[in-house]
Amino acid sequence: MKHSDSPDRQFHRRAEAIPILGFGLSVDVYSPDLFELMSRFDQAELRPAYLEIFRAEAEALRKVSRHLRTVPFAYHGEGLWITQPDFSATPLLNQELDDALLHLEILNSPWLNHECATKQMAGYSFGTYLPPLYTAESARAVARNVASVQQRMDQRRRPGDAFGPLFLLEMPPLTYFMAGTMTVPNYFRLVTDLTPCGLVLDIGHLWTLYRYSAARRRSSVEQFVKSFLHEFPLERVIEIHVAGLAPHQAAIPQSSPSNYPEWIDAHAAPIPTVAWTMLEQVLSHPRLRNLRAVALEVDTKPIERIVEEFQGASDRFGATIGCLLARERPAIDALRAVEGGLEMHSRDIDYRRLEADYAEYAQIATGQRPPTGRIWHGVAEDSIGLERYIHDYMPHEILRWGGNLTDMFPETCECLSDAGVVLTEFVPWWFHKPRPLTRPYDFFLLKIDRLLEFVGERAPALLEVARREADVLRSAYADANAGVAPFMESSR
């Protein structure tokens, strides 16, 4: 589909086709059990206006769509690593896109929400999201990759529809650090100037940007939010997320209480007061004029707490959100027009340079080289966050998060220890060389493959034991994914 309209005009035409969904939940089908959660809501005579469902096997999504007929759905995708310069050349891209298209169709979703982040970078695999390099070149590459996914969704639109589901780009959380040469809101401004995508503004992610950038040293949270919103393309925000924040499991407890605890994005944790205050500030902004939905993101949270927080938030914000969504929108012609479409704005991207920048990023984030150069200047000045990531967070991710290796492979781990192989050696081994993926990204399956490889190199005599344990894990995982049953902790 070729458009001569500016990205802003294209966006508004697309946004007009998106229904008002209201105040709902962003959930995982497995954790907590979605059917149990919804029946608890029925008992409480409460109803989320919609459910945004995180990526799951098609069969599990079909089951959800068959059994929860009265609630509208939206889709939270995963595995489309649009921040990466090699995105369009990824061998598994077509399979990932076909999966996303199928999931969108099953859920009849008006949008595809995806983090502007990656778990796979320059051949290195991570368990949780790493934000993009906040540079202009990287923003241009993201815009181009998002446009290519949008084109695929438009090609597969339903008969009679003018467009496919809208790509929503979510501003990702920071896990202690970020690198770049431009501000985060300006980065998203550049992306949206180049492509007609919508945005998701996640309040918890916004808090982590305050906490892990220089902003916390020079302004209050309120001032930070005010200046962030001034720069951020708020008129593109279609959905707002609100979720919990908490210190990481591997974090050393702080000896004295702090106004700036080392919280990270934590969906299982309670939503703190500061997040509700920030939400209030965002909702009152006049440029928030294309909002269609607000969701509490509650995967892995105890059911009782979800119901309680939803009730409290409905009482406090329900009327405001209702008024905001019902209000009349300005005519398209009266809107700010950026001249030219994607083609006119998209200067040639130096992909070779960007690939080198991301390879450097992967090596710095895994402690294999120091943060130097213009992009890493801020991190080099204050490296506490990066150090925290390298020495506490990342080893936890490889050894325990999304599947604790000693629980997954009890016999193998015991034998490794008897053979004098220390399991912590698995962490530097994991990152000692890049390894391109051979199947769609799945951190749990990746852990199994990599542990077998590690055992094969370090203690080949134990391979038989490890393979036996791996077979049991793979088949239990496949069974759990095909149904709607919890297996491991959420992989978000």
Please identify, using beta-carbon distances, which residue of 164 and 173 lies nearer to Fe ion.
173
Place of tokens 């007061």: 273
265 binds Fe ion (CB under 5 A): no
Please identify, using beta-carbon distances, which residue of 170 and 262 lies nearer to Fe ion.
170
Binding segment toward Fe ion, per CB under 5 A, in 54-62, 197-205, 393-401, 466-474? 197-205
241 binds Fe ion (CB under 5 A): yes
Task: Supply φ then ψ for residue 164, to 5 degrees.
Answer: -80, -175
Binding to Fe ion (CB under 5 A) within 296-335 occurs at 297
Separation between Cα atoms, residue 364 and residue 372, nearest integer Å: 9
Separation between Cα atoms, residue 261 and residue 279, nearest integer Å: 19
Asked whether the beta carbons of 342 and 7 are under 8 A apart, the reply is yes
Q: Residues binding Fe ion: what is the number (CB under 5 A)?
A: 3
Chain centre to alpha carbon of residue 483: 24
Binding segment toward Fe ion, per CB under 5 A, in 50-58, 196-204, 246-254, 283-291? 196-204
Residue 140-159 contact track with Fe ion, rule CB under 5 A, x = bound: --------------------
Binding segment toward Fe ion, per CB under 5 A, in 95-103, 195-203, 344-352, 448-456? 195-203
Element (H, E) at 208: helix 203-211
> Could you please report the per-residue DSSP string of 453-487?
HHHHHH-GGGHHHHHHHHHHHHHHHHHHHHTT---
Binding segment toward Fe ion, per CB under 5 A, in 96-104, 140-148, 198-206, 480-488? 198-206
Binding segment toward Fe ion, per CB under 5 A, in 121-129, 275-283, 293-301, 339-347? 293-301
Binding segment toward Fe ion, per CB under 5 A, in 295-303, 366-374, 429-437, 469-477? 295-303
Which token pair is 139? 């923003």
55 binds Fe ion (CB under 5 A): no
> Could you please report the per-residue DSSP string of 78-143?
-S--TTSTTGGG-TTHHHHHHHHHHHHHHHT-SEEEEES-EEEETTEEEEEEEPPPBSHHHHHHHH
Asked whether the beta carbons of 115 and 121 are under 8 A apart, the reply is no
Please identify, using beta-carbon distances, which residue of 25 and 93 lies nearer to Fe ion.
25
Place of tokens 């203690």: 459
202 binds Fe ion (CB under 5 A): yes
267 binds Fe ion (CB under 5 A): no
Shortest Å distance, C-beta 297 to Fe ion: 5
Which residues are registered as beta bridge partners of 115? 170
Please identify, using beta-carbon distances, which residue of 28 and 297 lies nearer to Fe ion.
297
Shortest Å distance, C-beta 377 to Fe ion: 29
Comparing C-alpha atoms, which of 489, 488, 47 is closest to residue 301?
Answer: 489
Please identify, using beta-carbon distances, which residue of 8 and 202 lies nearer to Fe ion.
202
Please identify, using beta-carbon distances, which residue of 206 and 416 lies nearer to Fe ion.
206
Shortest Å distance, C-beta 350 to Fe ion: 31
Question: Is the previous residue joined to 32 through a cis bond, with omega within 30 degrees of 0?
Answer: yes
Task: Supply φ then ψ for residue 174, to 5 degrees.
Answer: -100, 135
Please identify, using beta-carbon distances, which residue of 447 and 492 lies nearer to Fe ion.
492
Q: Which residues would be at the binding site for Fe ion (CB under 5 A)?
A: 202, 241, 297
